Chains A and B, each alone.
Chain A
């Protein structure tokens, strides 16, 4: 792939700045949206702890007082942003721990599981897609399509259950969820690239298959594959919920599931903001990388 030496730095700076501004705006809006949803949820005012007969009237009053700030959405959200600016992300109602420490504890697990899963999925998908394009054996292509089609039909939660039954690691389940999307998209991109006239001409002139792939096919299909890499981060993060919840992995996905079941407002808002941020950063990173790697006329 051609690495541009002439990518105008000023344009690149503005591109990154635009992406960052969009990320900040979307994250703020997403957080406000989720805070609004949770605030409007039925039963928002109730707290299970108030039902504890061992609590005195004063303790119940203190409990209600502690939640009073959450009643006005805008006040709650502006308070949250102010505190977040100083590094305080609030306390989880259900787990009774600071959200920041929960995220610090859980994030590395998700990062490892989703990261290894993504890596495996990309390796498997690209290997199958490239070899299918190089060999062009119908049976082999059919095998790839059937395999990816089968995994597309299985819910992520079922793959998690199957990995528990088969004693398989959680990252393998993530890999199998992400693999069909990468395989189908990259296979179609490569097939389209191979149909281009200049690539047919290069092959007809006797250029080696690997050389055709590296010098002519990849520069055509590469940008869209990089964009797909950003999207797969979002898919892997989404899949981490059932995988971590059912495989007993203490990551962000399991935390989101626990927060959903116990309707934990501060935790849900923080997780929403965090996941949105990671997804947007991955997509923007892919976009900027595409821009940097784009070949330009000198």
Chain B
């Protein structure tokens, strides 16, 4: 691991740890309103000031980071498992199953990602509780984000199906799920890991886009998407630079993920 990658790893771990400690670092919580100080600048009490309704921005950044950084990997896990199920199995079975799975993934991939996301998000109720909105947002990401990974996995599984060691295992009498679980799936692990890591930043960005468009996590729960929505009222960068903190944090974390990713992509 080179220095840049080590640094990226430290940044991601540090941001995760700080967001997990939000209860101790920002005991006021993300929803408490300081009605006497709406839109206040940074001060000793409110390190990043308060938002338009008087909520502590520092607390909201910490809690929002926790939601985005913990649930994006959860969504990535769901999508990777789905991709393994669809792509991995189709590649292993081959023939008509592989063609069917590829046709289905092509159908998914032919739709621009954001179009697909807002269409599916729109068919689900928009007036839901904040907690439900979090689950809906990240579940949609997980359930719709499998297609590209499934395409890669089906190709890898197809190559494995025709490999010498699988042929030998088959000749030795190993068939069906046992052959898949013992010989194919363990060899798909590097591809699965890579697809999992690749999905995380994609889902973080997608949640941010949905949040800014008003189709993501509902108020008062914060997420990077809803925090970035605050930029909408900004007239200039010099006016209230502390409002850019969520954006800077997002860029730092995303850059770190990118630096960590390259190795995973190479391994895949």
Contact = CB atoms under 8 A, between A and B. Distances in A.
Contacts, number: 128
Q: Which of B107, B120, B126, B255 has the most A CB atoms < 10 Å from its CB? A: B107
Interface stretch (A7-15, A120-128, A255-263): A255-263
Interface string A255-286: 01101110100001001100110011001000
A211 B212 CA distance: 48
A155 B205 contact: yes
A257 B126 CA distance: 13
B53 interface: no
Interface stretch (A59-67, A99-107, A146-154, A194-202): A146-154
B213 A153 contact: no
Contacts of A283: 110
A260 B247 contact: no
Given A165-B231, A242-B114, A155 B209 contact: yes
Nearest to B236: A165
Contacts of B215: 260-261
Interface in A29-60: 29-30, 33-34, 37-38, 40-43
A238 B254 CA distance: 20
A164 B232 CA distance: 9
Contacts of A174: none
B213 A161 contact: no
Specify which of B114, B120, B209, B236 lies most central, judged by the most chain A CB atoms within 10 Å of its CB.
Answer: B114
Nearest to A231: B109
A52 B87 CA distance: 49
A164 B215 CA distance: 20
Interface string B102-121: 00001100111111001111
Interface residues of B, number: 39
A245 interface: yes
Contacts of B107: 26, 29-30, 33
B208 interface: yes
A22 to B, nearest CB: 8
A26 B228 CA distance: 36
Contacts of B176: none
Nearest to A158: B228
B251 A279 contact: no
B120 A155 contact: no
B190 interface: no
A43 B214 CA distance: 19
A237 B115 CA distance: 8
A21 B213 CA distance: 36
Interface residues of A, number: 47
B123 A153 contact: no
Contacts of B250: 153-155, 158
A43 B215 CA distance: 17
A42 B212 contact: no
B258 A155 contact: no
Given A158-B231, A241-B213, A280-B110, A268 B255 contact: no
A165 B228 contact: no
B167 interface: no
B125 interface: yes
Nearest to A233: B112
Given A156-B209, A157-B213, A157-B228, A41 B123 contact: yes
Nearest to A272: B119
A261 to B, nearest CB: 7
A18 B209 CA distance: 36
A167 to B, nearest CB: 10
B123 A257 contact: no
Given A155-B208, A165-B237, A263-B126, A238 B119 contact: no
9 contacts: A33-B107, A150-B255, A154-B247, A155-B228, A158-B228, A158-B231, A158-B247, A242-B114, A256-B115
Interface of B: 106-107, 110-115, 118-126, 201, 205, 208-209, 212-215, 225, 228, 231-232, 234-237, 247, 250-251, 254-255, 258
Given A37-B119, A158-B228, A238-B112, 8 more contacts: A152-B254, A152-B258, A153-B201, A155-B225, A158-B212, A241-B213, A242-B114, A275-B115
